[in-house]
Amino acid sequence: MVSRINTDKELACVSLNYSDVVLLHYDRNPEARQLVPGDCISIKMEQNSKTGQFYPIIWSKKIRVEIKQLFVKFSGTISIRDGNPFGFVGAHGVDVFISPPQVKSLNLEDDDQISGWAIQGINKKKKQASWSALLLDS
C-alpha cells in the first residue's frame, strides 16, 4: 500500500505492514511517479546477500482493496477538541487520526460525518500501533 509520496526525495513509500516499508526511488522506478497514497501494489522482493536487506525488483499496481490490519475503510463522526487543527474518528473500535491538512482541505468541523481509508502505522510518541486517515471521501 502506498502510504506516502516524497516529491523532494523523489520516492514513494510503500507500507508492507504497520512497521515495515519499502521505498520506490523514482530514478530506479520511473513509473512510481504515477503512484498516489492509497494505491495498492504487488512487489517482488530480493534479498541482498551481503547486507541482508530486501529491495524491490519488480512491482505492479493492483485494484484498491481492504487489507485487514493494514488498510481499512472507515466512517464515523469526527471529534475535533479544544480548537485543535486535527481530529479523530472512532471506527472499528479504534481512533483514526485525521491530520490538520485533511481537516483544513475539507473544512471539517466537530461532529461532521466523514468516511475514507485508514492505514495502520506506529505512533512514535506512544510506541504502539495507530490508525491514520490516508484518503478521505469528499
State pLDDT tens for residues 21-31. Answer: 889 999 999 99
What does the pLDDT look like over 46-93, one tens digit per residue? 999 999 888 888 888 887 766 667 788 899 999 998 889 999 998 767
H-type helices in the chain, by residue range?
100-105
What does pTM read for this prediction? 0.66
Same domain, 84 and 40: no
pLDDT bracket for residue 39 (50, 70, 90)? confident
Same domain for 45 and 89, yes or no, is no
Last residue of a domain, one of 45, 62, 79: 62
Q: How many structural domains are present in the chain?
A: 2
pLDDT of residue 107 exceeding 80: yes
Owning domain of residue 78? 71-136
Paired with 59 in beta bridges are 43
Count Cα neighbours of 96 within 13 Å in the Cβ-side half-sphere. 29
Residues 57 and 84 both lie in one domain: no
Is residue 46 domain-shared with residue 95, that is, in the same domain? no
